[in-house]
Amino acid sequence: MAQILSVENPVVQPQKVIIPNKHGEKLVGLLHDTGSKEIVVLCHGFRDSKDEEIMVNVAAALENEGISAFRFDFAGNGESEGQFEFGNYLREVDDLHYVIQRFNGANRIITAILGHSKGGNVVLLYASKYHDVNTVVNVSGRYDLKRGIEERLGKDFMESIKKDGYFDFKNKTG
């Protein structure tokens, strides 16, 4: 876990929070609660999780400023339930919506959503669909979605999809 080096702010022990999405899957996240009513929600990138270094470091930086942060795993990633799916941007937008509704219902204020890489695209899509978060931060969001696919999936992935109707894809843990 991230260590807070600031003398003014004590180390915040993240609390595990489980939020069901609209498919009944449990989304697992960590709330870095500084006592602030305001929260920044952090969204990880492709094949990553809430525990990815960037997410941990951003949460720690927010803590140092006295801002609460929530980093979570989209369905099918990290500790969250569900099956990993390639693409599925709109489904991740739905996951983010359920996270935001959960905190809004708990009288918390989502002041910003921040996404890294694929998560950056998710927060932009979220902002275009919903208009309930004023600050949207896209960190290194994908701009050319065709680039990198062959390197990640291999040359024959489309032939496999056309032939078999699916493609087996392994995440970082296999």
pTM: 0.77
Q: How far, in Å, CA of 33 to CA of 62, rounded?
A: 10
Which DSSP category does 50 fall into?
A: T
**Residues paired with 112 in a beta bridge:** 40, 135
Nearest to 109 by CA among 70, 56, 62, 75: 70
* Range from 52-56, 134-138, 140-144 carrying the lowest mean pLDDT: 140-144
Q: How far, in Å, CA of 152 to CA of 122, rounded?
A: 20
Q: pLDDT digits over 2-47, tens only? A: 444 444 555 669 999 999 999 999 999 999 999 999 999 999 988 7
Residue with tokens 């999936």: 153
Give the number of other CB atoms < 10 A from CB of residue 2.
Answer: 18
